[in-house]
Amino acid sequence: MLEVVNLSKAYNVGPLGKEKFYAVDNVSFHVADGEIVSLIGESGSGKTTIGKMILRLIKPTGGKIIFNSVDIQSIKNRKEYYRLVQGIFQDPFSSYNPIFKIDRIFEMIREEFYPAITKEEWSKRVKKVVEDIGLNPSEILGKFPHQLSGGQLQRLLIARALLIDAKFLVADEIISMLDASTRIDVLNTLIKLKEKGLSVLFITHDLSLGYYTSDRTIILYRGSIMEYGDTVKVFKKPLHPYTKMLLESVPTTQKVWSNSYISLHGRNVLPSFCKFYDRCPLGDSTCKNVSFEKFEESHFVACVKVTGEGEHVA
């Protein structure tokens, strides 16, 4: 479905813009048909930048994004690309024109993408899709966006993607602004659509949400992948010190919150060293020219300290 190959995005910084800051640095992964892949990391790790490049909102500095065996930068008909690839973002209220009612917003999709379909046939399709995402068309259509909740608006954005017949969805922090009771409804909607063949890149900083929704997980730090693989394996047996830090940072009711991985150690991150070197309690001169190693089937890590048993060598 979608493959990201050595993707990078650099910005000019410093005096006169002579220095380069890599928001995304040589990232590679793939998302298969009917698969949800979570992209997890701290704020500023490059998650949203990757999503924007997939959606062609910003241009990569290097690398390729391949969709259905085609480099997306070579696709001249953007409308056809967006018919297959859609994005949903954090704030649902800013994704709608406030002067249009919901049925008018859906009608604009017909006018733009499917002008040959009659209004009557389109109306039936809209009602069916709205029902598929767990909403009542009679309570939703005909209302303005401000009359609906955030959870309803997010599910309607998913409905929009279904009406366009999208095959790939970039879901960027789509439930971070929703209350707890609404989040599960949106997540369950995604999971049901995944079972029907929709592929999703689920961007989040919330570990529990990534574990609940995804088939595979990518752990991102400072624009680089630290660990990736089967979600259960990454969460149950984390290998990279950064992944362990993330998981141990989640407060629980069973123990007092304490974590030795949190503190900064004041090292400089030297060229070719692991991005996590300055924060890692195990970092030393061997943490150089780190490459991905296969620890087990469907589980990879970029750390020279991991032994064959999954333990770390000090």
Domain of residue 214, CATH code: 3.40.50.300
Q: Which domain holds residue 37?
A: 2-101+162-236
pLDDT at 21: 86
pLDDT at 229: 93
53 shares its domain with 191: yes
In a domain, 128, yes or no: no
Identify the segments of the chain with pLDDT beneath 50.
261-266
Distances (CA, A) of 221 to 24, 46, 79, 279: 9, 8, 33, 11
In a domain, 13, yes or no: yes
In a domain, 135, yes or no: no
* Whether 58 contacts 49, CB under 8 Å: yes
In a domain, 112, yes or no: no
Which of 221, 236, 251 is a domain's end point? Answer: 236
27 shares its domain with 61: yes
Which of 181, 215, 236 is a domain's end point? Answer: 236
177 shares its domain with 268: no
214 shares its domain with 269: no
Query: Which alpha helices (DSSP H) does the chain contain, by range?
Result: 47-54, 78-84, 102-113, 119-132, 137-140, 150-164, 180-195, 207-213, 231-236, 241-248
Which of 202, 236, 270 is a domain's end point? Answer: 236
217 shares its domain with 294: no
Other CB atoms within a 10 A radius of the CB of residue 104 amount to 13
pLDDT at 253: 59
23 shares its domain with 73: yes
Residue 138 CA to residue 152 CA, distance in Å, equals: 13
226 shares its domain with 277: no
Strand segments (E) across 207-307 = 216-221, 224-230, 293-296, 299-301
245 shares its domain with 96: no
226 shares its domain with 295: no
187 shares its domain with 301: no
Count of domains forming the chain = 2
pLDDT at 57: 92
Query: What is the phi-psi region of residue 306: left when phi exceeds 0, alpha when psi lies from -120 to 50, beta otherwise?
Result: beta
11 shares its domain with 77: yes
86 shares its domain with 181: yes
pLDDT at 264: 46
pLDDT at 29: 94
